[in-house]
Amino acid sequence: MRLDSDSSTPDDVAKRAAQLRLEINRANRLYYVENAPELDDAEWDARMQELLAIEAAHPELQSPDSPTQRVGSPPAAGFDEVVHPVPMLSLGNVFDEDGFRAWYKRVLDYLELEKAPMVCELKIDGLALAITYRDGVMERAATRGDGERGEDVTANVRTIRSVPLTLDGPAGEIPPVVELRGEVFLPNSRFAALNAEREEAGLPAYVNPRNSASGSLRQLDSSETAKRPLDMFFYALGYVEGGEEPSSHWDTLQSMQRWGCRINDWTRKAETIEGVMAAIANAGEIRDSLDYGIDGVVIKIDSLSLQRRLGFVGRDPRWAIAYKFPAEQAETTLKAIHINVGRTGALTPWAELEPVIVGGVTVGRATLHNKDEIARKDFREGDRVVIQRAGDVIPQVVEVSPKNNRGADSKPYQFPDTCPSCGTETVQSEGEAVTRCVNATCPAQFERLLEHFASRGAMDIEGLGERVAQDLPRLGFVSNIADIYRLHERKAELLELDKMGETRVDNLLSAIEASRFQPLYRLLYALGLPGIGSESAEWLSRRFSSLSRLLEVTEEELLAIDGIGPVVASTLINYFGIEQNRNLIDNLIELGINPIDDTPEPSADHPANGATFVVTGRLESMSRSEAQNRIKTLGGKATGTVTKKTSYLVAGAEAGSKLEKARRLGIPVIDEAEFIAFMDDGVVPEVSAPDDH
């Protein structure tokens, strides 16, 4: 009932505002989340207008959970950076049943289990978000960003009506602080209408609904976002503080639904591979009937305790995988073949195409992968070809169309044997498909290399982003990586650059100076050594300890490192054999950029250091892989074969032939408890060599 403005007390007004917020938020949940509307439009509008009037007259009553906050606020100056308390990592992909079976087998082998129940979810083609609630009220919403850091888009997310401003659940069930994750998307049914509005306003059309969702969410003016019909499905719990987590992913989804979050009704459990494949088949069948884009199915191990045990490999969780649908295809004409020189010197051919629509997107260029692929499939300029969008994202040329008719002037494509940018002779290591220019001063790759060198995961030089990384070489300030450490000598010239200014220049030079003290592994990764990622850069750093030592490394020494194979070893030897690259490293050393890796070796005092272990049978508190990792961390060696050189056999339940062999050879046998005490406390097990029997 409306208040009488003449007789209402402040307490009456506050109670009425609270009641209206409760009723409107409940109506929003029923309408947008549960598809069970309680109020008709007129009733909802009446309540909203009354609440708006109360808050306008009494601004002190406005609260973060008020539905009036969904209408948007004035433009922001920009987006603040948000550091995710738990990284928002990527997913590995599989593309067929064999790939999925192989992933599931690896999971079971790692866990040493016969089975692990799973949950299947539709892989929504949208934008990942993390939303933090404190005491049940939305506090912050952030984009995924690079996984470690995202953008604060709280004001915009408040406008999405399927996102609760407050969580609602049984007393004590909602943790004091909880981060929930999900996917924001634009319904297909609203995409065409939105593009029509943009074209009428003289704005460029969005390429696809995902692009539209991203653009809508990143509006600096949240009142503009409020006009966009964005929607959201929640799919995970990211972070909890001061409360208990559910025991399974399935229970997590049910909890979030009870709290007022919209989850995808299609989501289902699967106990077996066959159950997962049936779910994937169903998703493929209904794909075209959905009002949102999907490009596959995400499969997750259900148990959260097993997820924690599985952990991560690189930036992918071991406990989840994305099964990607086959890409959509179309035919068109390959007009010309061009070569792009990438950051690592890879010569990547790409096709200029007669524009064609594939999966709702107009495609005018596509990758041709590499030199060998062009030769194997005999792609030629002028051919009629089949193209597809791999993972529904990256366009690629698949094959020459069966309908293709070549003229008399058709000739096989000749891949260049020198770099089209710098003229350096290209190399192709044995066993590697990629052709490379390994000249680190090559102009075509230098801008991308400079941007990578300065990135957060590398030397972390704030202020040296994409635009500056393009401007500095083009304006003659730098021609190789070492030149950035001479920029302080040209400060006056930098100040004359457009949009730089004294503060920006000072900050850039300070960040460059600070980068001198980054550890060796970051420098190695930053240099963009071919085939070397952040993890393998750490291996090189620990093994060779300095830049000057790396210049003298042999292929045999590289191959002795676990994880470095013959292709990467050969490519690195080629890289260090190029005079320009050796000069670059010499220049860095002369400029004082020569970090030494002094990471201590495992303690020589620990009795496991230098010992050789074999782990067999089933352990209760850890898998064999986890046990082997603990051994290696302490300087021990974990092998799979019992020999006379084995120091200890760690025997779990149901140990078999290895235990028998250890007994025959007189190898000391220890149980799980003795092993843990050995690893944790250095307590050497008091065992005698078993009798030979």
335 is catalytic: no
**Best-predicted range by mean pLDDT among 43-57, 63-77, 408-422?**
408-422
Verify that 41 and 131 share a domain, yes or no.
no
Strands 294-301 and 268-270 turn out to be unpaired
What's the domain range around 521? 443-590
Comparing CA positions, the residue from 580, 590, 601, 602 lying closest to residue 547 is: 590
The pLDDT-based confidence of 601 (bands split at 50, 70, 90) is low
Q: Identify the pLDDT of residue 74.
A: 43
CA distance 215 to 153: 12
Verify that 119 and 204 share a domain, yes or no.
yes
Q: Identify the pLDDT of residue 144.
A: 87
For the stretch 462-518, pLDDT in tens is 989 888 888 898 889 998 899 999 999 999 999 888 778 889 899 999 999 999 989
Q: Average the pLDDT over 453-466 and give the result.
A: 88
Verify that 556 and 485 share a domain, yes or no.
yes
CA distance 630 to 614: 13
CA distance 571 to 558: 11
Domain limit, last residue, from 400, 419, 452? 400
Q: Identify the pLDDT of residue 599.
A: 63
Q: Average the pLDDT over 163-177 and give the result.
A: 88
Evaluated on CA atoms 512, 513, 517, 520, the torsion sign reads positive
Residue 219 is part of a domain; what is its CATH number?
3.30.470.30
Number of H helices, E strands in the chain: 24, 22
CA distance 555 to 562: 13
**Looking at the domain assignment, is residue 421 inside a domain?**
no
Task: Give, in order, the Cα–Cα distances in Å from 228 to each of 45, 150, 205, 224.
Answer: 19, 21, 14, 7
Residue 488 is part of a domain; what is its CATH number?
1.10.150.20
Verify that 635 and 574 share a domain, yes or no.
no
**Best-predicted range by mean pLDDT among 382-386, 557-561, 603-607, 676-680?**
382-386
Q: Identify the pLDDT of residue 91.
A: 86
Other Cβ atoms less than 10 A from the Cβ of 311: the count is 11
- The answer to whether residue 104 scores a pLDDT higher than 60 is yes
Q: Which candidate in 15, 123, 491, 499 is catalytic? A: 123
Q: What is the mean pLDDT of the chain?
A: 84
Q: Does residue 614 come out as left (phi exceeding 0), alpha (psi in the -120 to 50 range) or beta?
A: beta
In the DSSP assignment, the letter for residue 251 is: H
Q: Average the pLDDT over 31-58 and give the result.
A: 66
Task: Give, in order, the Cα–Cα distances in Å from 398 to each of 265, 361, 374, 385.
Answer: 36, 17, 10, 7
Are 183 and 127 within 8 A, CB to CB? yes
For the stretch 542-571, pLDDT in tens is 788 888 888 889 999 888 876 688 878 888
Domain limit, last residue, from 295, 324, 353? 324
Domain limit, last residue, from 324, 346, 375? 324
Residue 15 is part of a domain; what is its CATH number?
1.10.287.610
Long-range contacts of 507-514 (CB under 8 A, 24+ apart): 507/462, 507/463, 508/461, 508/462, 508/463, 508/464, 508/468, 511/460, 511/461, 511/462, 511/463, 511/464, 512/461, 512/464, 512/484, 512/485, 512/487, 512/488, 513/488, 514/461
Are 478 and 484 within 8 A, CB to CB? yes
Verify that 215 and 339 share a domain, yes or no.
no
The pLDDT-based confidence of 52 (bands split at 50, 70, 90) is confident
- Of residues 95 and 514, the one with the higher pLDDT is 514
**Looking at the domain assignment, is residue 172 inside a domain?**
yes
Verify that 222 and 304 share a domain, yes or no.
yes
CA distance 591 to 485: 7
Q: Identify the pLDDT of residue 627.
A: 84
Least confident of 158-167, 251-260, 342-351, 621-630: 621-630
Verify that 177 and 271 share a domain, yes or no.
yes
**Which residue type does 218 have?**
R
**How many residues are recorded in the chain?**
693
Helical residues (DSSP H) of 555-682, grouped into ranges? 555-559, 566-577, 579-590, 624-633, 657-665, 672-681
Q: Identify the pLDDT of residue 59.
A: 77
Verify that 467 and 546 share a domain, yes or no.
yes
Of the chain, the percentage scoring pLDDT greater than 70 comes to 89
**Looking at the domain assignment, is residue 420 inside a domain?**
no
Verify that 163 and 226 share a domain, yes or no.
yes
- The answer to whether residue 303 scores a pLDDT higher than 60 is yes
SS3 category, 82: strand
Residue 357 is part of a domain; what is its CATH number?
2.40.50.140
**Looking at the domain assignment, is residue 266 inside a domain?**
yes
CA distance 392 to 281: 18
Verify that 335 and 456 share a domain, yes or no.
no
Helices 188-200 and 209-217 sit at what angle, rounded to 10 degrees? Answer: 70
Comparing CA positions, the residue from 494, 489, 437, 448 lying closest to residue 470 is: 448
**Looking at the domain assignment, is residue 1 inside a domain?**
no
Q: Identify the pLDDT of residue 76.
A: 44
* Element containing residue 300 per DSSP (H, E): strand 294-301
Q: For 420-458, b where at least 16 C-beta lie within 10 A, e where not — what string? A: ebbebebbbbeebebbbbbbbbbebbbbbbbbbbbbeeb
Verify that 342 and 202 share a domain, yes or no.
no
Q: Identify the pLDDT of residue 80.
A: 80
In the DSSP assignment, the letter for residue 653 is: B
Cβ neighbours for 405, distance < 8 A, ≥ 6 positions apart: 384
Cβ neighbours for 195, distance < 8 A, ≥ 6 positions apart: 205, 206, 212
Least confident of 235-244, 354-363, 630-639, 683-692: 683-692
**Which residue type does 3 have?**
L
C-alpha R_g of the chain = 30
Comparing CA positions, the residue from 377, 408, 385 lying closest to residue 335 is: 385
Q: How many domains in the chain?
A: 5
Verify that 375 and 455 share a domain, yes or no.
no
Q: Identify the pLDDT of residue 243.
A: 79
Residue 620 is part of a domain; what is its CATH number?
3.40.50.10190
**Looking at the domain assignment, is residue 412 inside a domain?**
no
Q: Average the pLDDT over 673-688 and give the result.
A: 83
Q: For 633-667, b where at least 16 C-beta lie within 10 A, e where not — what string? A: ebbbbbeeebeeebebbbbbeebeebbebbbebeb
Q: Identify the pLDDT of residue 107.
A: 94
**Looking at the domain assignment, is residue 371 inside a domain?**
yes
- Of residues 348 and 48, the one with the higher pLDDT is 348
**Looking at the domain assignment, is residue 88 inside a domain?**
no
Q: Identify the pLDDT of residue 6.
A: 52
The pLDDT-based confidence of 390 (bands split at 50, 70, 90) is low
